């Protein structure tokens, strides 16, 4: 039973920083799969923010480039999203997501690629 649990969300001032964590359990640590961070602001669609692809490469949305960094421990148990210089538009519920065993076509930043989802952690910037 695969579970993803996010933590680290908080209220922060404009220009501040936060580090989100995602802990994955129930997944074979030797398997290769993409893991990403997504967010959904009130009244908006969910969007991809940052992803570590199967080959270890990283991809970021335009809004995240230069400010956010995704990283992962060697066991792929924990994935972090370091967010710096936070802006009002970063206010959202942030979700961690992992691919299933079968690769779905499309951008790694597309939520359709992902099978397993956490319940989210709220980030509020004011």
Q: Quick check: helix, strand or coil at residue 41? A: coil
Q: For the segment 11-40, what is each residue's pLDDT rounded down to a tens digit?
A: 999 999 999 999 999 988 778 899 999 999
Q: Which residue has the tokens 């074979």?
A: 28
pLDDT confidence tier of residue 106, bands split at 50, 70 and 90? confident
pLDDT for position 45: 97
Q: Quick check: helix, strand or coil at residue 47? A: strand
Q: Rounded to whole angstroms, how far apart are CA atoms 102 and 17?
A: 35
């Amino acid at each position: 039973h695969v579970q993803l649990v996010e933590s680290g969300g908080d209220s922060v001032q404009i220009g501040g920083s936060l580090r989100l964590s995602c802990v994955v359990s129930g997944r074979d640590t030797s398997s290769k799969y993409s893991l990403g961070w997504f967010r959904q602001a009130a009244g908006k669609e969910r969007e991809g923010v940052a992803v570590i692809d199967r080959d270890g490469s990283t991809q970021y949305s335009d809004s995240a480039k230069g400010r956010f960094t995704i990283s992962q421990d060697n066991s792929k148990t924990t994935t972090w999203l370091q967010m710096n210089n936070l802006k009002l538009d970063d206010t959202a519920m942030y979700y961690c997501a992992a691919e299933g065993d079968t690769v779905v076509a499309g951008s790694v930043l597309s939520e359709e690629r992902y099978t397993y989802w956490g319940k989210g952690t709220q980030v509020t910037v004011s």
